[in-house]
Amino acid sequence: MRKFDLTSAAQDVVAELRELASLTSNENGAQRIAWTPIWDRSIEWFKGKMQAEGAEIHIDAAHNIWAKIEGEMEDAVVIGSHLDCVPDGGWLDGALGIVSGMGILKQFGKNGKKPKHTIYIVCWADEEGARFGSSCVGSAAVSGSLHIEEIKKLKDNDGICFSDALKPYHMKLEDFPKARKEFLKKHIKAYLELHIEQAPLLESQGKSVASVYGITGCERQYIIFTGQSAHSGAPLSMRRDAFLAAAQAVLEFRKIGLQYDAYCTVGKIIVEPNVVTIFPGKCKISLDQRSIQPDMLKIIYEEARKACEKAAKANNVSVSFEHVWSNPPTAFDENLIAACEASVWEETGENTSMFSGSLHDAAEIAKIVPSVMMFAMSSAGLSHCKEENTPDGDLETAIRAFFRLAEKVIQG
């Protein structure tokens, strides 16, 4: 029987994370965008590693990839995260949870002991929503919250619609909800996820790892300002400049976030006609708003709408809103939170707990089974960029704490 040592097992996880990064990154960072060949390469890498451990591999109707080790009991524990990333992303986002899960499965693989509960490691499909704008696609299909009609309308930057992107996979978007039925047959008793924090709080506190008790909810919109493009020699006071209206609104979004202790982010801006000597007649921006308080999401959205209408009126343009995606705040299972906190304490001697401002697949899975997350510190709080990093020592501490959590739940 393979001897399982927490320290060496954590080091092995870090080594495999670097191996994955070398296979799926370039000089600009990780390139595992969902529904692309490099993402496919990462999935094949995962499948090969897990098959070598004797795991049974299954792909569900939403293209979630499952690796299974049979336990003494049919009741199962799922350890999951995602392998897809944003363009020019980091080496740890999503991958940390998957590769740590691989490390746990190895403890119980063909050379290990049989677990008390059946174990699944799952790579959720398209968590980031980087290509089409809708996040947590695979896990939302499982939770039952995926809105097929809304996703059908989404297109990537090249004008390719979601359904067409699925053709190389021989899949249909209409079949994605079938993944829920497949999930419910698995007799899941708990879901666990390890992820990097993607914020600077833990580093600022000198902490390597924390238990996570909840996730902020999210409202995501596209906002379209429409005026009239014309020559840049036109007087400023007589223009119908769509970009200027959008810019004024964006500055107000920041004030709204600060006022209500919430998150307001504009990450995408498209201007037309996008010519140096023409002021824009159309400007489309994204707005991502988040809060841990359910009622606050409604408040900050209405405040943002008012700000947009005020900016549009001031610049003699019109404004419209296009809903992209939403998700309510998540509160994790109290028993699993206690186990997570105990695992962090055992590894570090400290009680460190927090909520997540970033969205994760656990927000979807918590809707249907008891769930919890654990965070590893992020250097300078940087994520979704090639500079994303966690020092090996801190990374190994978080992985060991997560191994402790998994042991409690799988063998409990």
Residues belonging to the binding site for Zn(2+) are 82, 93, 128, 195, 384
Q: Do residues 217 and 327 lie in contact, with contact meaning Cβ atoms separated by under 8 Å?
A: yes
**Nearest residue to 380 via CA among 127, 97, 90, 94:** 90
Strands (DSSP E) contained in 232-357 are: 263-265, 269-272, 278-279, 282-291, 318-327, 330-331, 353-356
Listed in sequence order, the residues at least 6 apart from 42 whose beta carbon sits closer than 8 Å to its beta carbon are 20, 23, 24, 32, 83, 84, 95
Query: In the 8-state DSSP scheme, what is residue 276?
Result: T
Task: Return the CA Rg of the chain.
Answer: 22
Q: Tell me, what amino acid is at 49?
A: K
Query: How far out from the chain centre does Cα 143 lie?
Result: 15
Q: Do residues 383 and 204 lie in contact, with contact meaning Cβ atoms separated by under 8 Å?
A: no
Give dist(CA 319, CA 258) in Å, integer. 24
Q: Residue 382 has which token pair?
A: 């940087």
Strand, helix or coil at 318? strand
Within 88-167, where are the H helices?
Answer: 95-107, 137-143, 148-152, 162-165
**CB < 8 Å & 24+ apart, contacts of 280-283:** 280/227, 280/229, 280/241, 280/242, 280/243, 281/226, 281/227, 281/228, 281/229, 281/230, 281/240, 281/242, 282/224, 282/225, 282/226, 282/227, 282/229, 282/242, 283/224, 283/225, 283/242, 283/243, 283/245, 283/246
Mark the binding-site residues, compressed into ranges: 82, 93, 128, 195, 384
Give dist(CA 112, CA 98) in Å, integer. 19
Which H/E stretch holds residue 403? Answer: helix 392-411
Give dist(CA 229, CA 322) in Å, integer. 22
**Nearest residue to 205 via CA among 401, 394, 6, 410:** 394
